[in-house]
Structure 1
Amino acid sequence: MPVEWQPVQQSRTHELVLRSIEERVFAGELRAGDRLPPERELAPVLGVSRSALREALRVLETIGVLVAQPGRGPDAGARIVRNPDDALGRLLRLHFALGSYSLHDVLEARVLLERSSFEAAARHAPADDLDAAERLVEGMAEPGIGVSGFNDLDTRFHVLIARSSGNALTSTLTSAVRESVRPLILRALEAADDWSATARALNADHAALLALVREGRAAGAADLAERHIRGLHGTLVEGPAAS
C-alpha cells in the first residue's frame, strides 16, 4: 500500500519565537515579573531577526502576558506580567462584534457568572471592597449623572463585586463579558424614554444587591442579580439589536 504523504505545516518565524517563550512559561522557567533579555541579546540566541522577535513580543503584549517599556534604564525592556482582564475583554468584544457569539449567549453567560459572583461575594467579600462598591452606588445616584458616567460606574460595580468574590478567574470572565456588551448597553441607556427614572430603577437594584451581599444573603443576592441582568440586557436580546 503506497504511503500517503502530507505537506508539513510551516510556521512563520515569530510563531516559533512565541512557541519558545510559551514553552519556558509552561516549564516554570519564566514567571510573572521576570524580564526578558534585551532584543540585541535574545534575537541571536533564538536565531531570528530582531523584527521577528518584536512581532512575537507584540503578540504577547496584546494578549496581556508581557509589557514592553521602550528606552533605556532599569524599567526598559520586556517583562512577563499577569494582566488578563483588559486583553480578554478586548478579544471577547471583537469576537462579539464579528458575530462569533450571539446576544443570547452573552446574556446567559452573564447570568451564570454574576449569580456565582454575588453569591460568593455574600460569603467572602472584604469590608473594604463593599465600602468601595457603596461609593460607586452613591456615584450612580448623583443628580444629573449622564448616561456614559453611569454606565462606567455600573460596569465598575459589577466587576468589583466579581473581584470581591475571591475567584480571580470568575472576576476576569465577568469583566470580559460585561465589557463585551458595554457599547450596546450604553446605546440602550441613551435610548431610554426617561433616563432619570431608568437610572433610579437600575441603581435601586444596585443598592439592594449590595445590601443583600452585606447581610450575607447569598441566595437572595444571586436571584436579584439574575433579575437585574435579565432586565436591561434581556431587552437587548429581544430588541432589534438581536438581529
Structure 2
Amino acid sequence: MPVEWQPVRQSRTHELVLQSIEERVFAGELKAGDRLPPERELAPVLGVSRSALREALRVLETIGVLVAQPGRGPDAGARIVRNPDGALGRLLRLHFALGSYSLEDVLEARVVLERSSFEAAATHASAADLDEADELLARMAEPGVGVAEFNELDTRFHVQIARSSGNELNSTLTSAVRESVRPLILRALEEVEDWPATAAGLGADHAELLRLVRAGRGPDAADLVEQHIRSLHGTLVAEGD
C-alpha cells in the first residue's frame, strides 16, 4: 500500500518565539522579575524579525506573564511577571460573551470556589487579612456609594477572602470567574428599583459572612456564601429574561 502523506503544520514565526521563551521558563532559566534582552539583541539571536518578536511579546503581555515598558533607562524593556488575575478574567469574560460557558456554568463554578474559600478562610485567615476585608465592607456601607464602586468593592471582598484562605489559585480563579460576569452584575444592580435597600441587604450578607469566618464557623460561612451567590444568580437570570 503506498504511503499516504499528510501536510505538515507550518508554525508562524511568532509562535516559534513563544515556544522558545516558554521552554526557558519551564526549564527555570527565566523567572518572574527577569528582563529579556533588548529587541535589537534578542531578535537576531532567535533568528526572527523584530516585528515577529514584538508580536510574541504582545501575546505574553496579554496573558499576564510579561510587561513591556517602552523607552530608555533601567526600567525600559520587557520583564517577566506573574499577573494572572486580570488576564484570566478578560479571557473568561470574552468566552462567556461568546457563549463558550453558560450562566449556569459560571454559577456552579463560583459556588464550588467560594464555598471552599470561605470554609478554608475560617481556619487559615490571619487577623490582618480579615481586617482588610472589614475595611472593604466599611467602604461599601458609606452613604451614596454607587453601583459601580459597590460592585468593585464587592469583588475585592470575595477575592480577599479567597486569598486569605491560603490558596492563591483559588484567589485567581475567584477573581476571573467574578470578572467574567461583571457586565451582567452591573446591569442587574443598576436596574433594581431600590438601590439603597439592595446595597444594605448585600452588605448585611457580607457582614455576616465575615463574622462567621472570624468565629471559625467555616461550614456555616460556606452555606451562607452559596445562598448569597445563588440569590444574586436569580437576579441575573431575571435581568436576562
Please say if residues 38 and 77 of structure 1, whose CA atoms lie closer than 8 Å, have aligned partners that are also in contact: yes
Q: Tell me, in whole angstroms, the C-alpha distance in 2 between the residues paired with 1:199 and 1:73.
A: 47
The residue identity in structure 1 corresponding to 2:96 is F
1:137-152 matches, cutoff 5 A: 137-152=137-152
Please say if residues 107 and 234 of structure 1, whose CA atoms lie closer than 8 Å, have aligned partners that are also in contact: no
Please say if residues 14 and 53 of structure 1, whose CA atoms lie closer than 8 Å, have aligned partners that are also in contact: yes
1:1-243 matches, cutoff 5 A: 1-237=1-237, 239=238, 241=240
What SS is found at the alignment partner of 1:94?
helix
* 1:125-172 superposed Cα distances (whole Å, 9 cap, x missing partner): 111111111111111111222111111111111111111111010000
Q: Tell me, in whole angstroms, the C-alpha distance in 2 between the residues paired with 1:170 and 1:189.
A: 26
Deviation at 1:235, TM superposition (A): 2.7
The residue identity in structure 1 corresponding to 2:222 is A
- The two structures have a TM-score, normalised by structure 2, of 0.98
Q: Tell me, in whole angstroms, the C-alpha distance in 2 between the residues paired with 1:226 and 1:48.
A: 51
Please say if residues 123 and 216 of structure 2, whose CA atoms lie closer than 8 Å, have aligned partners that are also in contact: yes
* 1:206-229 superposed Cα distances (whole Å, 9 cap, x missing partner): 000000000111000100000000
**CA RMSD between the two structures:** 1.0
What SS is found at the alignment partner of 1:156?
helix
Q: Tell me, in whole angstroms, the C-alpha distance in 2 between the residues paired with 1:151 and 1:33.
A: 32
- Unpaired stretches in structure 2, ≥5 consecutive residues: none
Q: Tell me, in whole angstroms, the C-alpha distance in 2 between the residues paired with 1:240 and 1:124.
A: 37
What SS is found at the alignment partner of 2:78?
strand
Please say if residues 66 and 79 of structure 1, whose CA atoms lie closer than 8 Å, have aligned partners that are also in contact: yes
Q: Tell me, in whole angstroms, the C-alpha distance in 1 between the residues paired with 2:50 and 2:188.
A: 47
Q: Tell me, in whole angstroms, the C-alpha distance in 1 between the residues paired with 2:47 and 2:151.
A: 49
- Unpaired stretches in structure 1, ≥5 consecutive residues: none
Q: Which runs of 4+ in 1 moved over 2 A?
A: none
* More moved, 144-153 vs 177-186: 144-153
Please say if residues 188 and 239 of structure 2, whose CA atoms lie closer than 8 Å, have aligned partners that are also in contact: no
What SS is found at the alignment partner of 1:10?
coil
Q: Tell me, in whole angstroms, the C-alpha distance in 2 between the residues paired with 1:144 and 1:35.
A: 45
Identity within the alignment, %: 83
Please say if residues 70 and 76 of structure 1, whose CA atoms lie closer than 8 Å, have aligned partners that are also in contact: yes
The residue identity in structure 2 corresponding to 1:110 is R
Aligned length: 241
Q: Tell me, in whole angstroms, the C-alpha distance in 2 between the residues paired with 1:83 and 1:147.
A: 27
Q: Tell me, in whole angstroms, the C-alpha distance in 2 between the residues paired with 1:71 and 1:235.
A: 48
Q: Tell me, in whole angstroms, the C-alpha distance in 2 between the residues paired with 1:185 and 1:101.
A: 16
The residue identity in structure 2 corresponding to 1:65 is V
Q: Tell me, in whole angstroms, the C-alpha distance in 2 between the residues paired with 1:58 and 1:159.
A: 27
Q: Tell me, in whole angstroms, the C-alpha distance in 2 between the residues paired with 1:129 and 1:63.
A: 28
Q: Tell me, in whole angstroms, the C-alpha distance in 1 between the residues paired with 2:240 and 2:21.
A: 41
Q: Tell me, in whole angstroms, the C-alpha distance in 2 between the residues paired with 1:148 and 1:41.
A: 45
* 1:50-74 superposed Cα distances (whole Å, 9 cap, x missing partner): 0100000000000001111111111
- The two structures have a TM-score, normalised by structure 1, of 0.97
